[in-house]
Structure 1
Amino acid sequence: MLSPLSILLVLSAALLHAGWNALLRGGADRLQSMLVMSITLGFAGFLMMAMAGVPWAATGYVVASGAIHLCYNALLVRMYRSGDLGETYPVARGTSPALITLGGSVLAGEWMSPLGILGVGLVCSGIFLLAASRAGTGRAPLHLSNLPDALATGVSIAAYSVVDGLGVRAAGNLVAYTGGIFVFFLAMPLWVFARRGRAAFVMPVSEMAKAAIGALISLAAYGVIIWAMQENAMGAVSALRETSVVFAALLGAAFLGERLTGLRLAACCIIALGAVCVGWRT
């Protein structure tokens, strides 16, 4: 079971994570926002390794996590091109706890309890309810357009979470390991620059600043999660983190003009409750 300090910090990370997703979703150009975020995180990663060293003992985990994070970032951009934050974010985040718990069980002996099985059912039920809330707004059904991208994002979240849970334990150095992961984020802007040139990076200063702030929020949020996974079960940490779906729904309604229906809010709460059950340890 997580300690009170771990619970408080992971809940704070959940709020921060929903916040930087709201910044990305609210950006004028999601690809450009992600480019600035990737550059900011990449240089922050170099700075972290300069202070803490290179995580040589966990090199394989760092490379795997970096590659998965690049796929995750690309999926985020694709997902937010048409999907509302309050609809796609809960699906992406809500599908990952069950997969992470399964990965933790198989790879780290963190076997899922009967309560965790109940949590899986709650998460799935919440996702179906979320799709129903989308249809109830009179807009295009979520499952026809945005659901595949959201589910793929959820799979990528589960993959990098399991890798990082194992990797930070192998590295034995939180700062060095986290820095190594974020250095890989520079690959995305380098690839875009090679394909599109400097024009892809031309954007208003205000948008650039907003994206850079989002990157720093992202770094703080995920740094807390990696810290928590050093000593706690990966499924438990992930489950508590996914309460961010409720924060995302509220932020989407407050700042992005997204409609917060009672059905959508109920779906987010069910997903969050299921996520907590998946990771709960007695």
Structure 2
Amino acid sequence: MFSYTGGVVLFAAVLHASWNAMLHGNRDRFLSMTWMSISIGVVSTLVVMSLPLPPAAAWPYIVASGLVHIVYNVSLVRSYKRGDLAQAYPIARGSSPLLVTLGAALFAHEAIGPLHAAGVVLISGGIMALALQGGQVSRAGALAAFTTGVTIAIYTVIDGIGVRKSEGDALAYTAWMFLFYWIMPLLFAAQRGVKALWTPILDAPMSVGSSVIGGLVSIAAYGIVIWAMQAGAMGAVSALRETSVVFAALIGRMFLRESVSVKRWLACVVVAAGAVCLGM
């Protein structure tokens, strides 16, 4: 699946790593996620106004995916309150391709060859090896990360099936699904009040700005993934997307001056080998 589609998905992985790096310095994850969701909602609203409605067969998947994405966002925000999640979170990114491959086989009767299966395993294993370095992950942190991985797998399989029922209109499917992100500011306002949402525009404009940009980058990143799943195997596409964890490590080394141990480099090599398997 590599060629053009695989290269585009790898680009999506870079985008995914990039918006995570932009949001790295924002301490209030709930606020950041909310402003990111607002920017996604605005773009989606503008897009759906100029596109025809998706086919009726795609709507159950659009609604289900949109709601699962909100559950994922809330779960991720809550998980970030645990001090060890920054180390355990790659478990979510590493476990989701395996879960997506299983879900695609069960619900979409999708099968991949031995070489691509090996690629999925190598990428998942390499990412989890990255997660387990630098100290022991607590049981609570690992459970939170794995739960996040389950939600990632659920919405990925839903979108993989749903976009194939959209009759080739991946853009309309993606835009209507992302409209559900308007739920996030409603949840934020219900918990903290409307003032807590708007005050940071003046008090912390850089933080709000990075979140808005992160939302724009993230909608492009996952939009590419949905487009790729129209024809590519869900597990393989998911595995290539999760190489973003490796790109995040490289970005941290090159731009944030974070140290990368030999073991981390070896884990990155394993992930790269998995990507090569998916490209053959």
User: Is contact 1:126-1:268 (8 Å) kept?
Assistant: yes
- CA 1:247/1:152 → structure 2, altered by over 3 Å: closer, same or farther? same
Residue-by-residue CA offset, 1:219-271 (whole Å, 9 max, x unaligned): 11111111111121112211221221110112234455644222233234434
User: Is contact 2:97-2:124 (8 Å) kept?
Assistant: no
Distance 2:150 2:15 in 1: 21
> What's the counterpart of residue 138 of structure 1?
none
Segments of structure 2 that go 5 or more residues without pairing to the other structure are none
TM-score (norm 1): 0.86
SS, match of residue 133 in structure 2: helix
SS, match of residue 206 in structure 2: helix
Percentage identity across paired residues of the two chains: 47
SS, match of residue 111 in structure 2: coil
Deviates more, 1:261-270 or 1:76-85: 76-85
- Cα deviation, residue 67, structure 1: 1.1
Distance 2:127 2:218 in 1: 25
- CA 1:84/1:41 → structure 2, altered by over 3 Å: closer, same or farther? same
Residue-by-residue CA offset, 1:93-141 (whole Å, 9 max, x unaligned): 1111111111112222221433355446535643563354222xxxxx2
- CA 1:234/1:207 → structure 2, altered by over 3 Å: closer, same or farther? same
TM-score (norm 2): 0.87
Asked if 1:245 is matched to 2:240, the reply is no
Residue-by-residue CA offset, 1:69-114 (whole Å, 9 max, x unaligned): 11221232234443475x3443221111111111112222221433
Distance 1:206 1:239 in 2: 33
- Cα deviation, residue 193, structure 1: 0.6
Return the match for 1:154 from 149, 158, 176. Answer: 149
Return the match for 1:143 from 138, 143, 146. Answer: 138
CA RMSD, aligned part only? 2.4
- CA 1:78/1:251 → structure 2, altered by over 3 Å: closer, same or farther? farther
- CA 1:90/1:269 → structure 2, altered by over 3 Å: closer, same or farther? farther
AA in 1 matched with 2:239: A
Distance 2:268 2:79 in 1: 18
AA in 2 matched with 1:267: A
User: Is contact 2:9-2:241 (8 Å) kept?
Assistant: yes
Segments of structure 1 that go 5 or more residues without pairing to the other structure are 136-140
Asked if 1:190 is matched to 2:180, the reply is no
Equivalenced residues, count: 273
Judging by fraction of residues, say which structure has more helix: 1
- CA 1:272/1:148 → structure 2, altered by over 3 Å: closer, same or farther? farther
Distance 1:16 1:127 in 2: 17
- CA 1:182/1:78 → structure 2, altered by over 3 Å: closer, same or farther? same
- Cα deviation, residue 145, structure 1: 4.6
- CA 1:8/1:114 → structure 2, altered by over 3 Å: closer, same or farther? closer
Distance 1:269 1:78 in 2: 32
Distance 1:145 1:25 in 2: 22
- CA 1:144/1:223 → structure 2, altered by over 3 Å: closer, same or farther? same
SS, match of residue 51 in structure 1: coil
Distance 1:130 1:143 in 2: 15
- CA 1:259/1:73 → structure 2, altered by over 3 Å: closer, same or farther? farther
